[in-house]
Chain A
Amino acid sequence: EVQLVQSGGGLVKPGGSLRLSCAASGFTISSAWMTWVRQAPGKGLEWVGRIKSNAGGGTVDFAAPVKGRFTISRLDSSNTLFLQMDSLITEDTAVYYCVGKDTWGQGTLVTVSS
């Protein structure tokens, strides 16, 4: 069974950093295109970024609002995907979802507030 379990959300001050984790089971993340999606409170879904599979080149793409501030990486030994978020702003407040193999994680809330 494909499953994604997320961790790492919380409250952070503007300008701060946070790292989200997404532990996968039932498949190997290096063989899949893995995506991060966020949803601000009461708003719609927003595509954040993606890392392609090794076969796809492993390249990373980001949406304009987070480019240069967010980084996506993965640790193959633990089959875990990460979203490193730096220089956070209040507009980054959202529930963040990881998505892989057409399966969504449970989401984790990130709140950026002073």
Chain B
Amino acid sequence: QAVVTQEPSLTVSPGGTVTLTCGSSTGAVTSGHYPSWFQQKPGQAPRSLIYGINNKYSWTPARFSGSLLGGKAALTLSGAQPEDEADYYCLVSDDGGRVFGGGTTLTVL
């Protein structure tokens, strides 16, 4: 089973831009891994944010975008808001199943 790696924590200033990444121990993350991103705030269930690299849901704020960057999946937040402070998890396909990354705690400060 692949080990999926994310930055443990990142800090962004209000209005700033930050990129979270998601790498796999098996090699480059590609479209075949169908990377997805989820947001979880304290005490809440996670919420789906991005699917299939860069597809948004109707509820996904426009300031979030997904991409592939240097062999990793990436989630970019442009114009961070205080309410974006949360844990973010990526999810990729692996060997018939799926694997979550360890999560990134994003602080907006």
Q: Which residues of A contact B (CB under 8 A)?
A: 35, 37, 44-47, 49-50, 61-64, 97, 99, 102-107
The interface centre, meaning the residue of B1, B98, B102 with most chain A CB atoms within 10 A of its CB, is B98
The interface size of chain B toward A, counting residues with CB under 8 Å, comes to: 20
Tell whether, in the assembled complex, residue B48 and residue A104 are in contact, meaning their CB atoms are under 8 Å apart: yes
- Which residues of A are found within 8 Å of B47, using beta-carbon distances? 104
In the complex, A61 Cα to B94 Cα: how many Å? 11
- Given A44-B89, A45-B103, A47-B91; A107-B97 close (CB under 8 Å): no
Tell whether, in the assembled complex, residue B103 and residue A44 are in contact, meaning their CB atoms are under 8 Å apart: yes
- Which residues of A are found within 8 Å of B57, using beta-carbon distances? 102
The interface centre, meaning the residue of B1, B96, B99, B100 with most chain A CB atoms within 10 A of its CB, is B100
Tell whether, in the assembled complex, residue B99 and residue A47 are in contact, meaning their CB atoms are under 8 Å apart: yes
Q: Which residue of A lies closest to B48 (CB)?
A: A102
Q: Would you mind naming 14 contact pairs between A and B with Cβ atoms under 8 Å apart?
A: A35-B98, A37-B100, A44-B100, A44-B102, A45-B40, A45-B89, A45-B91, A62-B97, A64-B1, A102-B48, A103-B48, A104-B46, A104-B47, A104-B48
- Min CB gap B2→A, angstroms: 11
Tell whether, in the assembled complex, residue A63 and residue B45 are in contact, meaning their CB atoms are under 8 Å apart: no
Tell whether, in the assembled complex, residue B89 and residue A63 are in contact, meaning their CB atoms are under 8 Å apart: no
